[in-house]
Structure 1
């Protein structure tokens, strides 16, 4: 009996993994569209609270107003980023030309031939290879923009009739109320996390942008956006977001001073916001074990790359909420939680 159960669970697990891998091109735009919809709902809630105006106009007006405003901001950001990516692509050959000079300076200062060691370990070193995973992820995000917008529009339309459909599926009041509570928990937890994390990441990105402009690093908007994006990745995201512009400063100026400046200033911004601002705003709302966060990061990163790493925490939060509502999966939710309280 136990062997049959284990085999059944194993088959289900393998099937889910296969579905996640094969359905990647459909699932990622849908999840991103869902997260944008959560932002729209939060923004609509704020607009409805505007004195004298919010309550006089219908909710659907504020929904579409929020969506249009958010899409316009995203469109503007995408245009600026595309220009910065083009500029960065032009500069990469210049950075590669400076590698020998940088290597010579490091060798003279520390007696270590860095790039020779990298070449021995990883083969022919090309700067374009270093940036290709991130640039590919951003390109994939832009290429899926139409699908994401389409999903958001249909989610907005579905919201108005979803409660009616749910009531027909669960005509009994108790079942309907239980399902409504579960969905409300998912909506509240997801909306809070996405909204607060976006604000925190935006503050980090803007502060880093001004720091990079003052230091004189090329394409500061692109690196600020990368820092904003990487801030959604737990634990290692802030390190990656700080290290990339620091390496670019090293290759751009050819000295360790600018490398240290970027690493120090942007690193301090990350430390201050990560250790003081973020805990004040977010508290301990996630209720996830630190080990689970790292495992989720590795798992979703292996399945969906950088996009999966960005989405790893929020997907795990939703899983904990769902698992905690059913007797069979409640033990899983307890193990995933931080202290066993769900």
Structure 2
């Protein structure tokens, strides 16, 4: 490996350490930046549809609407989370009741207590709870960052132009352009398809009669941003609470299967047509990225993994000695498309 490649890997290791140490501040800022890119993308699309509209007014209205949706979503999540905590003892008792129906080969029955003795669930649960609490606390900081990013958008763009001009090269400009364009396309496609899956799941849950269908639909929408297994993981919650609400297994099975059918329809019929090159990341690389960013930033890192990996892929592609890593990350072997999508 050349001196340039070795230097980059050392810098990458140092950067990973800093990302971990300052995660409490960095992930809210990164999430705010991704949301700012999404807001800019939505406002630009509206301006193209309404050429007579004033861009600054469309941008302001879009920012207010997206901010309102975020605040309302936070309220729904907090309310739903509180209800989950209240009903957790009943949920545990119901799971024990269902596990008692399973007879072990050597005699006896299964229970949560017996499973907990075989698997150390305590540290895992504590770590997950801590991560979720940190994520909830960071959302307020995200909104603050988002407000200042949107407010200072023209100044930030001017400073970026000055930095690119002072560097005297097109490499940085190309990385930034492709990174912002890739994140924009990814967020747009995942948001639209996530809304489709969430709405279809809401219809299924309402048809079955599950309580808090709106809350679980929002959970599924958020999990839709996770690659490959996101919707599957998001459907576990409503399925478990269907076991608590209904005396039989049929409603829970109907909810789980219904959500998977909706996800399959959107994933196989709608997503490929919309996605095109918007997420040029190999599925295996996506799962690795989710794992790595979850280690660094916890739950928020899982949701930000794909946008961050897209930006990393474009950066790696600029180095001849490290381009092979970008090729491995990419899905089609071409990490640097000739032109960004409009």
Q: 1:40 to 1:107 in 2, by over 3 A?
A: same
CA RMSD of aligned residues (A): 3.1
2:141 to 147, 150, 171: 147
Q: 1:294 to 1:326 in 2, by over 3 A?
A: same
Please give the per-residue CA displacement for 1:70-122, whole angstroms capped at 9, x wherever unaligned.
Answer: 111222222233222222222222222323332234559xx994436623422
Q: Which runs of 5+ in 2 are unaligned?
A: 336-342
Q: SS of the residue aligned with 1:286?
A: coil
Name which of structure 1's ranges 179-188 and 192-201 shifts more when overlaid on structure 2. 179-188
2:234 to 230, 241, 245: 241
Q: SS of the residue aligned with 2:281?
A: coil
Shift of 1:300: 1.2
Shift of 1:192: 0.8
1:118 aligns with 2:112: no
Instruction: Tell me the residue number matched to 2:197.
Output: 204
1:26 aligns with 2:8: no
Matches of 1:92 and 1:172 in 2, distance apart? Answer: 58
Please give the per-residue CA displacement for 1:102-156, whole angstroms capped at 9, x wherever unaligned.
Answer: 2234559xx994436623422579xxx86983x6555434422332122222222
Instruction: Tell me the residue number matched to 2:309.
Output: 316
Question: CA contact under 8 A between 2:224 and 2:231: conserved in structure 1?
Answer: yes
Shift of 1:304: 1.9
- TM (norm. structure 1) is 0.84
Q: SS of the residue aligned with 1:144?
A: helix
Instruction: Tell me the residue number matched to 2:46.
Output: 47
Question: CA contact under 8 A between 1:98 and 1:252: conserved in structure 2?
Answer: no
Instruction: Tell me the residue number matched to 1:12.
Output: 11
Shift of 1:259: 2.3
Please give the per-residue CA displacement for 1:5-39, whole angstroms capped at 9, x wherever unaligned.
Answer: 89866643442222111010111101110111011
Shift of 1:242: 1.6
Query: How many positions carry a matched residue from both structures?
Result: 332
Instruction: Tell me the residue number matched to 2:285.
Output: 292
Instruction: Tell me the residue number matched to 1:270.
Output: 263
Question: CA contact under 8 A between 1:102 and 1:250: conserved in structure 2?
Answer: no
Question: CA contact under 8 A between 1:87 and 1:219: conserved in structure 2?
Answer: no
Q: 1:270 to 1:153 in 2, by over 3 A?
A: same
Question: CA contact under 8 A between 2:294 and 2:300: conserved in structure 1?
Answer: yes
Name which of structure 1's ranges 262-271 and 88-97 shifts more when overlaid on structure 2. 88-97
Instruction: Tell me the residue number matched to 1:87.
Output: 83
Question: CA contact under 8 A between 1:98 and 1:254: conserved in structure 2?
Answer: no
Matches of 1:232 and 1:119 in 2, distance apart? Answer: 31
Instruction: Tell me the residue number matched to 1:329.
Output: 322
1:66 to 62, 66, 70: 62
Shift of 1:191: 0.5
Greater share of residues in helix: 1
Q: Of the two structures, which has the highest relative contact order with CA contacts closer than 8 Å and spacing of 6 or more?
A: 2
Please give the per-residue CA displacement for 1:183-219, whole angstroms capped at 9, x wherever unaligned.
Answer: 2222211111101101111111121122112212232
